Amino acid sequence: MNIGIHTVQYIGFSCAQLTNIVLLLLIHKKAKKLFGSYRYVMTIFTVYSIIYTWIEIIALPLMHIHKSMFIMMVDSFLRYEQRIGYYVICFYCASYALCISFLATQFYYRYVVVCRPDDLGKLKGFRLFLIFLPGSFFFVIWYSLVFFAMEKTEEKEEIARQVILDVYNEDSSKLAFIALQFWDNYSDGSRHFRWIDACGYFGCLCIMGICFSTIMFCALKIFFKLKCEQTTMSAKTKDMNRQLLLTLVFQTALPFFTMYSTVGIILTLPIFEIEVGRKGNIVASLACVYPAIEPLIAIFFVKDFRRVFLCKGKVNTSVNDFPLQEAQDNSRRSSNMFINKSLI
């Protein structure tokens, strides 16, 4: 259907495999000493990024806005597999929720480390994976919203028939797609707002709002804690926490501008019947580039990762042992001192 967008998708997929595997190797080799349990959180997010790219390449989604309808089509080998293709495109949409949820999870973990160290013991061992439950819940909710509110119906199929035939040379009755339609237009000139579709739209926006609110809350708390902390945290430990905070901020800003703000806009345009047609595929292009760029942020913003990646000699690991020594010194002065090796 669209050679240009698919070329970008395949390039993004290939680059994402490379950059994410490099980050996984760096986490495996260096993060145990640098970050302690936080390496598991980073590993899960990185593995998810790889899985996301495979879901995308299996779906090869195309986006189109026609009148008051947003259409997302499967253009892979599953394009004519009505049921399987429908499941895959719903799964692809739900992966958006998992991405932002996992970012919020990383911020929450850093918030506990820096601002509520007494609660860190609650996240030891298998209990660490409990912080991923909200993200999994949002994934299920998002999938359900797409599955039920954006379901392909005969009515939507008929409305999209001509535009899909003219632009993509495909028969809408054979093609696997989902559609979000806000208005029903009748022959007498009356209009009816489709609340079922609208519930799916508002539900997705609510999930994004909750996750970004969590990120903003945790980021501000961590920032002011690091800014005000003078006695209980050494310069090296503060620097490491600043590196991780800066990494997370940029890892959040990237998908916000490449995925979530653009998706929010493109889902809102049909409400006002602003038709942009196949230009909606710009969003699909940005979404497929994100997983390839995201690992580079961690690689270059964490100093020790950057030194290894750029082959700048042996990494200075003195900072790795410092938090433990600092905790031992602090524990003799005050039982409330919290910096230790596991906190990083």
**Can you tell me the mean pLDDT for 2-18?**
93
Predicted pLDDT at 337: 41
**Can you tell me the mean pLDDT for 84-99?**
93
Burial of 133 by CB count in 10 Å (0-12 exposed, 13-18 middle, 19+ buried)? exposed
In 3D space, the residue among 226, 253, 251 whose CA is nearest the CA of residue 239 turns out to be 226
Whether 210 is covered by a domain: the verdict is: yes
Q: Which helix (H) or strand (E) holds 14?
A: helix 3-26
Using pLDDT thresholds of 50, 70 and 90, give the confidence band for residue 327.
very low
Predicted pLDDT at 96: 82
271 lies in which domain range? 3-316
Predicted pLDDT at 316: 44
pTM: 0.85
Sheet holding 177-181, edge to edge: 61-66, 69-74, 177-181
* CATH code, domain with 282: 1.20.1070.10
Whether 332 is covered by a domain: the verdict is: no
Whether 330 is covered by a domain: the verdict is: no
Whether 200 is covered by a domain: the verdict is: yes
Burial 51-87 (b: 16+ CB within 10 A, else e): ebbebbbbbbbbbbbbebbbbbbbbbebbeeeeebbe
289, 306 contact by CB (below 8 A): no
Predicted pLDDT at 329: 39
Domain count, the chain: 1
Predicted pLDDT at 213: 92
Predicted pLDDT at 330: 40
The string of pLDDT tens digits covering residues 185-241 is 888 888 999 999 999 999 999 999 999 999 999 999 998 888 886 546 677 777 888
Whether 123 is covered by a domain: the verdict is: yes
More confident residue, 316 or 278: 278
Q: Which helix (H) or strand (E) holds 181?
A: strand 177-181
167, 277 contact by CB (below 8 A): yes
Predicted pLDDT at 314: 52
Tokens matching residue 326: 């600092």
Q: Which helix (H) or strand (E) holds 43?
A: helix 38-59
**Can you tell me the mean pLDDT for 158-180?**
94
Predicted pLDDT at 334: 39
Q: What is the CA radius of gyration of the chain?
A: 23
Burial 100-110 (b: 16+ CB within 10 A, else e): bbbbbbbbbbb
Whether 256 is covered by a domain: the verdict is: yes
Residue 173 has pLDDT above 90, yes or no: yes
Which residues is 61 bridged to in the sheet? 74
Helix (H, G, I), strand (E, B) or coil at 81: coil
Predicted pLDDT at 64: 94
Tokens matching residue 333: 């002065």
Count of beta carbons in the 10 Å neighbourhood of residue 37? 18
* Helices and strands (H, E) in the chain, number of each type: 12, 5
What does the mean pLDDT of the chain come to? Answer: 86
**Residue at token pair 């905790």:** 327
Using pLDDT thresholds of 50, 70 and 90, give the confidence band for residue 313.
low
